[in-house]
Amino acid sequence: MQTIAPIFAKNRKFLVKPFNIKIEHLNPTQFQEFRKSDLEYWQSPELFINWINNLPDLDHILEQIQLKKTNFKNRSQLVDMLLQQYSGFSDTDPIFTQIKSLSSNNTYTILCAHQPCLLGGPLFWWYKIANTIKLASILKNKFPEYSFVPIYYSGNEDHDFEEVNHFSVFQQNIQWVSEETGAVGRFKTDGLKSVFETLKNLFGNDPESLQIINQFALQAADCKTYKDFYRYFVHQIFGAHGLIYFDPDDASAKSLIKDILKAECLDQLIVKQTEQTIQELTKINYPIQAAPRPINLFYLKDQYRERLLFENEIYVTVDSKYKWSQEELMKEIDNHPEYFSPNVLVRPLYQETLFPNIMFVGGGAEISYWMELKQVFNSINLTYPLLHRRISGWIIPANIQSKINKSILKYSDFTQSAIALEKQYLESTSTLPSAIKNVENELHKVLQQYAVLSNTINDSTHASTLAEIARIEKLTEGLKHKIIKAEKQKFDEQLQKIIKIKEQLFPNNGLQERNQSGIQYYLQYGKSFIDELIDAIEFNNKEVIVFLED
């Protein structure tokens, strides 16, 4: 493979405009889209102390380091495999200094993991990695006697291509089409050509953005597999901040977890060790994000990744293509551990075996399945990391701010539902809603007087009066909606503009960070976008970070 220099070296000539922003914060409870369980851990992790190792705060960092020291023994193997994975890079790249620093017993990692979404995918992928980088920097400043290295574990063995093969730019969906199957990271990069052509059409008037797209396209064409391209993609965006990309589809890495692979097959490690925890979490109505299977592994070959089962005293893939006796399967693990691929519940054991990791950075769903695993870690004498809930962000472009400023609403009002937003606008603009409220109050007083009077006569008269009052209230409710509907038509143009803003800020009625791509902003702002993201992050971000474009 040709050696490719990072495109964002200090001497780069691209003149992408800066990401000038103002930072504000909002309480996440103002958003309807966050799950209750996610908010609870995010705001109050102490509520879950029974299912985590320690609170994810600065007070427990040194304790976590000491715990990890007691059972981590794979530094030399880790350095060797990372050097091999980066063997196509220039020898002068600073990333090699970062990798070699992992040889020191005073170096630890902060790690995040995610599928290799097409060109980074949704914004939360970018937030998660930026958060990981910033935490490593904060800890280095706080504990200078130690070094902390940010790691991105790329889920290259994932076979759910439909989850990673698309992203949205300027509300246009861009999709990578491929007929390949199996691990996405092993796919050829041929199909990416049309993705880059579509991007070029969208950014055709921006020469600086086109240069970045062309550089990515050249790199993709130079790489045999998607996972190799993804390493360069991630490095060019985040490498200057010391982020190491890790590819788990690595035979030397898998050789270090043979015992875990065997325990999962022979002893049903995950399902047995999570049973009690799942019962406890279910009792407090905490959602079980990933239900364990009897065997939580896949069998992995080119163009193939299928679940392992144990049926009728033999091990078999779910499609019955491969079969083994117990002895044959143990021999297969010994000889070819790279043929076995962890699912979402075994992957944490894999990563924590490989890395001197003290903190995992993840979203609400990730925290949820990690919460199931503490007893599994204990059972194999593996240190369970601190769980840090990643940041959530909300970018409000300058043109949308301008539209909001022309209305009587604030950007924070748009966290409400569309119905609540319309109601607020009408109540602030029209006198009719308050007039109707006054009429309703007066009518309620009159009807209550009738109820009191009827109660002095007899039970039958009182009951029929209450029934008649209910009928009148239902009738007046219909009248109110009819009048409000007519009033809304007077403000139809303004309300349509407000709903349009709502749709832009919450694409597909969901969080922006889950629907809008990060590459859209990166191609507009380049390195400045990443720098500003990282700069905005604090150690304990318990609020949504609002990025107001200047």
pLDDT tens digits for range 338-367: 999 999 999 999 999 999 999 999 999 999
Give every CB contact of residue 276 below 8 A, 6+ residues apart in sequence: 375
Rounded to two decimals, what is the model's pTM?
0.89
Q: How many domains does the chain have?
A: 2
Q: Find where tokens 């003290």 sit.
A: 358
Do residues 89 and 233 share a domain?
yes
Query: Is 413 in contact with 424 (CB distance < 8 Å)?
Result: yes
Query: Is the residue at 293 inside a domain?
Result: no
Give the span between the Cα atoms of 66 and 33, in whole angstroms.
38
Q: If you average pLDDT over residues 508-528, what whole number do you get?
A: 95
Instruction: Kindly state whether residues 361 and 233 are assigned to the same domain.
Output: yes
Question: Is residue 236 domain-shared with residue 150, that is, in the same domain?
Answer: yes
Q: Do 160 and 26 belong together in one domain?
A: yes
Residue 494 has pLDDT above 50, yes or no: yes
| In a shared domain, residues 355 and 478 | no
Instruction: Looking at the structure, tell me whether residues 365 and 507 fall in a common domain.
Output: no
What is the span of the domain harbouring residue 444?
409-511
pLDDT tens digit sequence for 218-244? 999 999 999 999 999 999 999 999 999
Residue 477 has pLDDT above 90, yes or no: no
Q: What is the pLDDT of residue 445?
A: 85
Does 113 reside within a domain?
A: yes
For 33, residues 6+ apart whose C-beta sits below 8 A from its C-beta are 506, 510, 511
Q: Are residues 476 and 531 in the same domain?
A: no
Average pLDDT, the chain: 92
Q: How confident is the model at residue 430 (pLDDT cuts 50, 70, 90)?
A: low
The reply to whether 414 and 543 lie within a common domain is: no
In a domain, 335, yes or no: no
Examine the domain organization and report whether 413 and 539 are in the same domain.
no
- Checking if the pLDDT of 474 tops 60, the result is yes
Tell me the CA distances in angstroms from 11 to 5, 501, 531, one per residue in order. 12, 39, 17
Query: What HEC string does 93-147 produce?
Result: CCHHHHHHHHHCCCEEEEEEEECCCHHHCEHHHHHHHHHHHHHHHHHHHHCCCCE
Determine the Cα–Cα distance for residues 49 and 334; give it in Å rounded to an integer.
Answer: 37
Q: With respect to residue 327, please indicate whether it lies within any of the assigned structural domains.
A: no
Q: Based on the domain organization, do 232 and 248 belong to the same domain?
A: yes
Sheet strands (E) in 320-467 = 323-324, 340-342, 357-362, 386-389, 393-396
DSSP state of 415: G
3-state secondary structure of 375: helix
The reply to whether 457 falls in a domain is yes
Q: Is residue 321, in this structure, part of any structural domain at all?
A: no
Contacts with 192 (C-beta within 8 Å, 6 or more apart), sequence order: 176, 217, 220, 226, 229
Is 267 part of a structural domain of the chain?
no
Task: Answer yes or no: do 237 and 113 share one domain.
Answer: yes
Between CA 511 and CA 127 the distance in angstroms is 13
Q: Are residues 120 and 248 in the same domain?
A: yes
Nearest 5°: CA angle at 15, between 13 and 19? 135
Residue 73 included in any domain: yes
Burial class (CB in 10 A: 0-12, 13-18, 19+), 448: exposed
State residue 8's pLDDT score: 35
